[in-house]
Amino acid sequence: MKGAYGFRFTGVDLPGLVDAPVSWPEVSVTIAGAAAPAAAVVGDERAVLALPDGGQAALDRRSATAVLHPLGPVDPGWVVHPALAYLAAVFSRWHGRHSLHGGAFVAGGGAWGVLGGHGDGKSTTLAWLAEAGVSILADDMLAIACGTVFAGPRTLDLRAGAAPFLDAAGHMVRDGARRRLSLDSGALEQPLRGWFALSWGDRVEARPLAPGERLAALLGHLHPGRTANGVRLLDLLRLPGYELTRPRALDSLPDAAAELMATARRSGEGIEPSNRGAATACRF
């Protein structure tokens, strides 16, 4: 069965999803016709979401079902991303998990989150790492349970302006607004070792964040699909958190990627060997 973000998705056959283990909870996804606009709300049992690029979704916790209502003809690429991330964010909340607006790469004995909003350079940074041979666990949503990060779809969407700089192959999606790259397959679950929050600055620098700054950064990067207050993020404060700044110019990417990897590896050196293995995922 195929899935992503720690869930198995039934009812849809989509490119880019991973072979999900039976330990991941199942969500049945149905694609229906356009629906009358409804107010977005996420409750304890049901949710209605407004989805990026148009359309909406109706979710039910008890039946573990999600009904997608695209505005026009069904685009499987849109379902894979961004629609599934929004569905998974809500079901993650219902399962007591975290969902942050970010991606993750693998280094230093586990996964490192890269948090950023739209236009912060998150996907561009991850694409540079992927081109350099670094394993990318997820692009647009960081799904976490009990210290475990779950793999996202094996795709990464780049803004059209960044693709030529990276010499990135792929195909255009989302009405030509993004170039979609394919990611190599890898581990489905990795222990979360720490994270970086991206920002723009005059130079490339990875600055450790104080506990109060880490909490503010995590709250500021909750995935928009979850619409929660983030109280349960406190368990992530024990992990190293950094602010990574770089100039907006794309030619700063090589130095920024090198700083990410070096910082992650230095932090990973302090982890006991017994804790470097595969993560033990939460079971719900």
At residue 2, the 3 state secondary structure works out as strand
Give the tens place of pLDDT for each residue, 153-176: 999 988 777 766 776 667 777 776
Helices (H) and strands (E) in the chain, counts: 6, 20
Residue 33, token pair as written in the block: 């016709």
pLDDT at 1 over 50: yes
Type of residue at 150: F
Compute the mean pLDDT over every residue in the chain, rounded to the nearest whole number. 88
pLDDT at 262 over 50: yes
CB-based contacts of 266, cutoff 8 Å, min separation 6: 108
Q: With cut-offs at 50, 70 and 90, classify the pLDDT of residue 178.
A: confident
Q: What is the torsional sign of CA 259, 263, 268, 270? A: positive
CATH number, span 100-275: 3.40.50
Q: With cut-offs at 50, 70 and 90, classify the pLDDT of residue 227.
A: low
64-68, 129-133, 222-226, range with the lowest pLDDT: 222-226
pTM of the model: 0.90
Region 91-99: what's the mean pLDDT?
Answer: 94
Domain(s) labelled CATH 3.40.50 in the chain stretch across 100-275
At residue 127, the 3 state secondary structure works out as helix
Residue 112: strand pairing partners: 105, 194
Distances (CA, A) of 74 to 32, 83, 156, 263: 9, 12, 20, 42
The pLDDT of residue 118: 85
pLDDT at 274 over 50: no
